Structure 1
Amino acid sequence: MKKSNINKNALYESHLLEDWFSPKIIASLNNEYIKVVKIKGDKVPWHNHENSDKLFYLLEGKLLMEIESSKAFYMNTGDLFVVQKGINHRVSSVDECKIMLIERKDTLVQFYPRLPKP
């Protein structure tokens, strides 16, 4: 089977998305998926990825990143942030924003309606 190179524009791919909070795989690299997603609002619950890190690259907009036991901060277009495995986090956005995500294909997600009490 012949393999072919992948040439895609992540921002363009994110503009094709119809639904919020529905990541689309646009490519794979070794054992990772490269995804695009658009979000608006605060529907992403607190969660963590117990077996892998996750990279967020903000393609467009402004994203609120909340990390357990840390001060929340905003990411702007062009910003990149890596959430380390096992760290509880959530994201939200007042206005629509578009994100590229890179995570392992076998990423396991654990959701929490609220952060667990220490």
Structure 2
Amino acid sequence: MLKNNEYVKLAKIKGQAVPWHTHENEDELFYIVSGKLLMEIEEKDSFIMETGDRFVVKKGTTHRVSSKEECLIILIESKTTKHTGDVSSAITKTIEQQSY
């Protein structure tokens, strides 16, 4: 954890990783370590992120990500950021369930 209550998280994504969701109060930075990630932003054109790319999803933005092949990402987000916002799905983890 950084001094300003931000977590740096390492995650693997393969397939449809997360449902459409929004983080109402937190920005979320994605950095692609390896692979390709499809970033979808509501009412905008989707785009592919590749190794070395970074993108900040601004708070209040509805989004989802997926990857056909395994993609390794780093996320930098607030300690209080819920994994899938207020959307509950089979992959949703509470802050207490997330391991750091």
Q: Deviations over 1:73-99 (max 9, x none)?
A: 000000000000010000000000000
TM-score, with normalisation over the residues of structure 1?
0.69
Instruction: Identify if the C-alpha distance between structure 1 residues 86 and 112 changes in structure 2 by more than 3 Å, giving closer, same or farther.
Output: farther
Shift of 1:106: 1.3
Segments of 5+ residues of structure 1 without an aligned counterpart are 1-27, 114-118
| C-alpha contact (below 8 Å) 1:47/1:112 kept by paired residues | no
Q: What secondary structure sits across from 2:40 in the alignment?
A: strand
Give the secondary-structure state (helix, strand or coil) at the position aligned to 1:81. Answer: strand
Shift of 1:43: 3.3
Distance 1:79 1:59 in 2: 8
Provide the rounded CA distance (Å) in 2 between the counterparts of 1:106 and 1:43.
Answer: 20
Corresponding residue SS for 2:60: coil
Number of the residue aligned with 2:87 = 111
* Structure ID, larger Rg: 1
Aligned to 1:56: 30
Tell me the residue number matched to 1:29: 2
After TM superposition, the runs of 4+ consecutive aligned structure 1 residues lying more than 3 A away are none
TM-score by length of 2: 0.81
Does structure 2 conserve the Cα–Cα contact (< 8 Å) formed by 1:41 and 1:94?
yes
Q: Deviation of residue 112 (structure 1)?
A: 7.4
Which structure: greater helix fraction? 1
Cα contact 1:40–1:96 (8 A) shared by 2 = yes
Whether 2:32 is the aligned partner of 1:78: answer no
Task: Give secondary structure in 2 for the equivalent of 1:48.
Answer: coil
Equivalent residues, number: 86
Q: Structure 2: which 5+ residue stretches go unaligned?
A: 90-100
Q: Distance in 1 between matches of 2:29 and 2:56?
A: 4
Is the contact between residue 67 and residue 89 of structure 1 (CA under 8 Å) also seen in structure 2? yes
